[in-house]
């Protein structure tokens, strides 16, 4: 396939507010060995993108600029570096690039490179831009619920932050694992949680007395906000995990207690991406899309996701 020499890609030249983001004409990246070059169909906007741009991870991301933004992607393979064997030119794949390998552009661009070991075939659905919402949040929810919390059929699971990106996937994935799921969200989002199939939709502004609630076998926190209070809803022997950095003090403080809370960092696992793709194709998992932005509006997309009150995910279409 003929590919252009240049493309549009989002970049920033210093850490700072969303306004530091620019959309520039830059060279199309060249895939290195074991990398694919994708024509980006869409990427999602994650809280981690906004945190990295603002300098919150400067110790790991370093002082070299420009930097790109965007970590997950749905795209068509247009070229392969050496030693690629799993995907062909023309395949539509999805994946998670990861923050650590961020170059001068990320997936918020017209083209992006990605390690062949970080993708799987994308779900075969009409709305591929919406599917771009899922690689990072879907893998995070699946790994937390299935691997860390070992959720089993008929268990009672509480998802805290259920209306957000990870939470809206987790509510659906926990049901696919056979659990009875309840949710905690803001009161305005309880209806969304009910539409996702929860048994009980609680609001964090008016949590019930724990004595009035049948205890939960597993609690998955996606907020990091005041999470110690949810431990009171755990059944004896119940498990609780958080993915949010704000929950780390509770994680550390609980390490010796019976109601331990663990922290889960997501890992890119192509088999998990494939699991999520088949859940989407079967209709058991649907991306909850809040807003769709053109690449030119990347700064507005970052500003919105940083509010921590989005409903599901926002995607960027270059
Ligand atoms: N460890 C990892 O590998 C990993 C991977 C992915 C994400 N994360 C982190 O996980 C967190 C969630 O990510 P996300 O993409 O799901 O974020 P998000 O889409 O912004 O969702 C945030 C959720 O938090 C809820 N919330 C806000 N204030 C709250 C409060 N005071 N009490 C309870 N809930 C509250 C929101 O509900 P309302 O809008 O209804 O208020 C919303 O449902 C972020 O911190 C992100 O950086 C970590």
> Which tens digits make up the pLDDT trace of 198-222?
999 999 999 999 999 999 999 999 9
Q: How far is the CA of 25 from the centre of ligand 1 (A)?
A: 33
pLDDT of residue 60: 87
Q: Distance (Å, rounded) from C-alpha 176 to C-alpha 250?
A: 29
Residue of the CA atom closest to atom 48 of ligand 1: 243
Q: How far is the CA of 190 from the centre of ligand 1 (A)?
A: 15
Q: Tokens at residue 303, please?
A: 């500003």
Between vectors from CA 226 to CA 193 and to CA 206, what angle results, nearest 5°? 50
pLDDT of residue 29: 96
Q: Which runs of E-coded beta strand occur in the chain?
A: 6-12, 22-27, 35-45, 67-68, 72-80, 92-96, 111-115, 119-121, 156-160, 180-185, 201-203, 216-221, 234-242, 261-263, 289-294, 313-317
Q: How far is the CA of 160 from the centre of ligand 1 (A)?
A: 9
Q: Which of 100, 186, 193 to mutate to test the pocket of ligand 1 (most atoms within 8 A of CB)?
A: 186
Is residue 10 over pLDDT 80? Answer: yes
pLDDT of residue 177: 98
Q: Distance (Å, rounded) from C-alpha 264 to C-alpha 266?
A: 6
What are the pLDDT digits (tens) for 61-83?
888 999 999 999 999 999 999 99
48 lines ligand 1 (CB under 6 A): yes
Position 102 confidence tier, pLDDT thresholds 50, 70, 90: confident
Atom of ligand 1 nearest to the CA of 163: 43
Is residue 37 over pLDDT 90? Answer: yes
Question: What pTM did the predictor assign?
Answer: 0.97
Q: Per the CATH hierarchy, to which homologous superfamily does domain 136-263 belong?
A: NAD(P)-binding Rossmann-like Domain (3.40.50.720)
185 lines ligand 1 (CB under 6 A): yes
Between vectors from CA 217 to CA 213 and to CA 220, what angle results, nearest 5°? 95
Position 271 confidence tier, pLDDT thresholds 50, 70, 90: very high
Q: Where in the chain is the domain with CATH 3.40.50.720?
A: 136-263
Residue of the CA atom closest to atom 41 of ligand 1: 186
Q: Where in the chain is the domain with CATH 3.90.180.10?
A: 6-133+287-317
What are the pLDDT digits (tens) for 125-166?
999 999 999 999 999 999 999 999 999 999 999 999 999 999
% the chain with pLDDT above 70:
99
% the chain with pLDDT above 90:
93
Of residues 58 and 281, which shows the higher confidence score?
281
CB 260 within 8 A of CB 238: no
Q: Which of 309, 310, 313, 314 to mutate to test the pocket of ligand 1 (most atoms within 8 A of CB)?
A: 309
pLDDT of residue 202: 98
What are the pLDDT digits (tens) for 218-265?
999 999 999 999 999 999 999 999 999 999 999 999 988 888 999 999
Position 1 confidence tier, pLDDT thresholds 50, 70, 90: low
244 lines ligand 1 (CB under 6 A): yes
Q: Per the CATH hierarchy, to which homologous superfamily does domain 6-133+287-317 belong?
A: Medium-chain alcohol dehydrogenases, catalytic domain (3.90.180.10)
161 lines ligand 1 (CB under 6 A): yes
Q: Distance (Å, rounded) from C-alpha 312 to C-alpha 133?
A: 9
Task: State the average pLDDT over residues 171-189.
Answer: 98
Q: Distance (Å, rounded) from C-alpha 89 to C-alpha 113?
A: 13
Residue of the CA atom closest to atom 2 of ligand 1: 265
Q: How far is the CA of 318 from the centre of ligand 1 (A)?
A: 25
222 lines ligand 1 (CB under 6 A): yes
Helix, strand counts (H, E) of the chain? 9, 16
Is residue 2 over pLDDT 80? Answer: no
């Amino acid at each position: 396939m003929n590919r252009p020499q240049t493309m549009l890609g989002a970049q920033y030249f210093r850490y700072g507010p969303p306004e530091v983001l620019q959309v520039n004409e830059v060279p199309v990246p060249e895939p290195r060995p074991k990398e694919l070059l994708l024509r980006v169909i869409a990427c999602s906007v994650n809280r981690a993108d906004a945190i990295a741009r603002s300098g919150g991870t400067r110790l790991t991301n370093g002082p070299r600029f420009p930097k790109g933004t965007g970590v997950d992607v749905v795209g068509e393979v247009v070229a392969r570096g050496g030693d690629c064997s799993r995907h062909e030119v023309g395949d539509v794949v999805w994946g998670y690039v990861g923050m650590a390998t961020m170059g001068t552009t990320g997936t918020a661009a017209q083209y992006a490179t990605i390690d062949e070991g970080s993708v799987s075939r994308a779900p075969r659905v009409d709305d591929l831009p919406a599917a771009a919402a899922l690689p990072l949040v879907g893998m995070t929810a699946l790994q937390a619920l299935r691997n860390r919390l070992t959720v089993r059929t008929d268990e009672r699971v509480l998802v805290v932050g259920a209306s957000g990106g990870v939470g809206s996937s987790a509510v659906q994935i926990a049901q696919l694992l056979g659990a009875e799921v309840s949710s905690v969200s803001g009161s305005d989002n309880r209806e969304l949680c009910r539409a996702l199939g929860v048994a009980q939709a609680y609001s964090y502004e008016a949590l019930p007395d724990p004595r009035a609630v049948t205890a939960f076998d597993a609690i998955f926190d996606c907020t990091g906000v005041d999470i110690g209070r949810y431990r009171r809803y755990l059944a004896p022997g119940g498990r609780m995990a958080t993915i949010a950095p704000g929950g780390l003090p509770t994680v550390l403080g609980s390490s010796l207690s019976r109601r331990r809370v663990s922290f889960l960092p997501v890992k890119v696992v192509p088999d998990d991406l494939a699991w999520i793709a088949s859940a989407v194709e079967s209709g058991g998992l649907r991306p909850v899309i809040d807003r769709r932005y053109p690449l030119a509006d990347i700064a507005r997309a970052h500003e919105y996701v940083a509010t921590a009150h989005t409903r599901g995910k926002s995607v960027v279409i270059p």
